Structure 1
Amino acid sequence: MNTLEALEWSNWKNYSSKTKRDLFSQVLLYFVSPLRRVSNITLSQFELAGVKCETFEVNLDDEPFVFLPGKKGAILGWDSGTQPLPAFYWDKKNLLMNQRVEDYIKNYGLETTEEWDTFVNESTSSLRQVDIPPMLVQKYPIPTGCKYIGRLHAVTGEFVGSVEAYAIIEKDILSYLQAPQTFEASLNFEFPGEIFQENQFYAVLNPEEETYTVYTHQVCTQEELKKELQSQVYELLDEDQWEYAVGATTRRLFRWGNELVEDHSFWQNQTHRLVSKPNMFGLSFAGNNLRYEITSGNQLKQDKWTNCHVPLLDYLPLSSYYRARKILAKQEVLSPKDYLYRKAIIIDQLT
């Protein structure tokens, strides 16, 4: 058995920890640029929806990546409509109408199970069987055109990260965070959810911690992003690789199972935590519909969607196989407020 075959999931899962470490050391030796700083190599166990995978986490230049074993003959895409979801997930009794919902109803009806089946099948990629190579995939997606430099505490102003890069943009960022001078105005003050100055910086608030994740920003198109990644020996995932990375071919419409959040009861809050949990490879994907995630082609995954209180409509963009109706234009400038991407190293041959 050659090394690539050993990195297939069906073989990988049966190896001892020592054998996995030996194989992963070859991956790092032959596929990671010697210019990357490799650290925090950890063998971790991940599980979601009953699927378990023991694999490696590693930091490349302080950015976390996860190793995904490959899979030959992976079944991707969806043609099973609403199965096996219960019908009340597409009940429209609490519907908040918006233009996109109005268009969907006009085009599909969305009254009968058959009409919903057609809508779901046409909102997901076609059923297919493909070979997926082993991959190193970035654990968290990054806003397009952005480079992570650190974290800023919104209240104290303390910054942890690349101090030199932050010093250039510090004054402008802090200008957005100044509380009102009057007592009355300060009662209603809230930190902005995001701060953006094109070609300078982009910062996103983590409300629970009152911290901002801070990036420098440079305008780019998809082609420019690809060239930049190639110069760093990285790639974008193609649609097949992305779907595999999300759902691991579990043949479920959603990576976490069939539960959708409907209310704020204890059990539904449990479901919400499940939706936001890292998947069976330890990768994190959005649990909301705030941005698209781009692939190497023109197909966009996930979506920008305003919740309409029909669970299936609100959660379908989080499906492992969802295809956004929007097609990415070749020369479109990728705003970090609209698009995410993640770096990958594709292991397609070993010397």
Structure 2
Amino acid sequence: MPVVPDGFAFSHVESCGEPHGVGSNEVGVYLHDGVEFVLVPGKVGVTLGWEGGLSGFDPGAVAEFEGDLLAVVEEVPDLSEEDRAYFTLAGYSAHIDEATSPVRVVSVPDMLVERSPREAGVRYVGTYDADTGEHELVDGDDLLERIGEAFRSDDKRWATLRLVGSAALTRIGDSARYEVWREVPTTHARLRDAVTAAGYSLLTEAEWEYLCGAGSRTLFRWGDFFHRNTDYGYGGAPNVLEAPNQHGLRIAFDQFKREVLDTDELAKGGDGGLTLHDGIGRFDMLFPLATYFRQEHDPDYRGRNLVGGYDFYRRVVRLDGA
């Protein structure tokens, strides 16, 4: 049995699963400094990664996507032969294999995993009341004018509000109060060092894939199909993927949110919203949410500051047995 470290208090057992009743599970939830962590049992010899492109995916969804690809070719008649080849099922299948991790067999340890990802490059500085203007800010007085202006110009109570280059605000429940998070330039190396110094680790790619898909041999964590009456990912009303997965984690639910790993060479769970603007169809828009999708960073990207609102991370504690 895994040994839970001091400071993690058992909270409750919760039933979690994927949309449409896939992969239901009972998970143990713990609290540490008011933050929820989930106890995830490890596994020896689990197969991760992907190959085979669209093979095994729902035939109806594949036929619909083939129509989306053909529509692109018809709309852009001067495409090169290389681009025309890309916009075929065979060409896009090759793209899937190139943009996913290789198939391999790994062992994953028992872990306590932060339930929800947290935004990188921000620091909590207090609260602000959008109705009264009252605030409790530490190191945030210089933000007051811009925050007040934002709420005066738009009286809608957004769940989140971003002041680019300054701060991010998150609404507290249904109240008019917001948490205020100041943007702080943070590189991957500084983030990793801070997480390690606090007694945690960042996830490896293999750990993230196991936490997302639980070792399932399907491209997406909910299966190899799209339910016609279900909204997946960013903009869904509701987005069914925001509910905890079968490991009890909020993971791979928003294409804009990419999760930082222990390496700065790639990210998981999203692509910063790139495919949402490609106009190639539903499958392409959702592909960054696939368990084995990886957004690789070129050398010029590495070492730069992480981007608030796009780069997220979750803390993990790897456990020893009794």
Does structure 1 conserve the Cα–Cα contact (< 8 Å) formed by 2:69 and 2:87? no
Q: 1:315 is matched with which residue?
A: 286
Deviation at 1:228, TM superposition (A): 0.6
Q: What does residue range 132-281 of structure 1 map to in structure 2 within 5 Å?
A: 132-148=108-124, 154-155=130-131, 163=136, 165=138, 168=141, 171-172=144-145, 174-180=147-153, 194-196=161-163, 198=165, 201-204=167-170, 212-260=178-226, 267-269=229-231, 272=236, 273-281=239-247
* Paired residue total: 301
Change (3 A) 1:127 1:143: same
Deviation at 1:284, TM superposition (A): 0.7
Change (3 A) 1:150 1:131: farther
Q: 1:91 aligns with which of 52, 63, 67?
A: 67
Structure 2 distance, partners of 1:111, 1:330, is 30
The one-letter code sitting in structure 1 at the alignment partner of 2:291 is S
Q: 2:266 is matched with which residue?
A: 299
Deviation at 1:325, TM superposition (A): 4.1
Does structure 2 conserve the Cα–Cα contact (< 8 Å) formed by 1:261 and 1:311? no
Give the TM-score of the pair, scaled to structure 2: 0.78
The one-letter code sitting in structure 2 at the alignment partner of 1:125 is S
Deviation at 1:154, TM superposition (A): 4.3
The one-letter code sitting in structure 2 at the alignment partner of 1:268 is T
Deviation at 1:68, TM superposition (A): 0.9
Deviation at 1:108, TM superposition (A): 7.4
Structure 2 distance, partners of 1:327, 1:142, is 24
Structure 2 distance, partners of 1:236, 1:261, is 33
Q: 2:91 aligns with which of 115, 118, 138?
A: 115
Structure 2 distance, partners of 1:344, 1:213, is 24
Deviation at 1:249, TM superposition (A): 0.8
Deviation at 1:317, TM superposition (A): 0.2
Does structure 1 conserve the Cα–Cα contact (< 8 Å) formed by 2:124 and 2:181? yes
Change (3 A) 1:153 1:258: farther
The one-letter code sitting in structure 2 at the alignment partner of 1:218 is V
The one-letter code sitting in structure 2 at the alignment partner of 1:179 is R
Q: 2:49 aligns with which of 77, 92, 95?
A: 77
Deviation at 1:158, TM superposition (A): 7.2
Residue 46 in 1 paired to residue 21 in 2? Answer: no
Q: 1:16 is matched with which residue?
A: none
Which string of whole-angstrom CA distances, capped at 9 and with x for unpartnered residues, describes residues 259-282 of structure 1? Answer: 4377xxxx2348954333221011
The one-letter code sitting in structure 1 at the alignment partner of 2:195 is L
Residue 331 in 1 paired to residue 308 in 2? Answer: no
Deviation at 1:212, TM superposition (A): 4.7
Q: 1:283 is matched with which residue?
A: 249
Structure 1's unaligned 5+ residue stretches are 8-25, 30-35, 181-185
Question: Please, what is the CA RMSD of the aligned residues?
Answer: 3.6
Structure 2 distance, partners of 1:165, 1:92, is 51
Q: 1:340 is matched with which residue?
A: 312
Does structure 2 conserve the Cα–Cα contact (< 8 Å) formed by 1:153 and 1:211? yes
Structure 2's unaligned 5+ residue stretches are none
Change (3 A) 1:195 1:239: same
The one-letter code sitting in structure 2 at the alignment partner of 1:171 is L
Which string of whole-angstrom CA distances, capped at 9 and with x for unpartnered residues, describes residues 149-177 of structure 1? Answer: 66656456577xxx454864662453243
Structure 2 distance, partners of 1:40, 1:216, is 31
Residue 27 in 1 paired to residue 4 in 2? Answer: yes
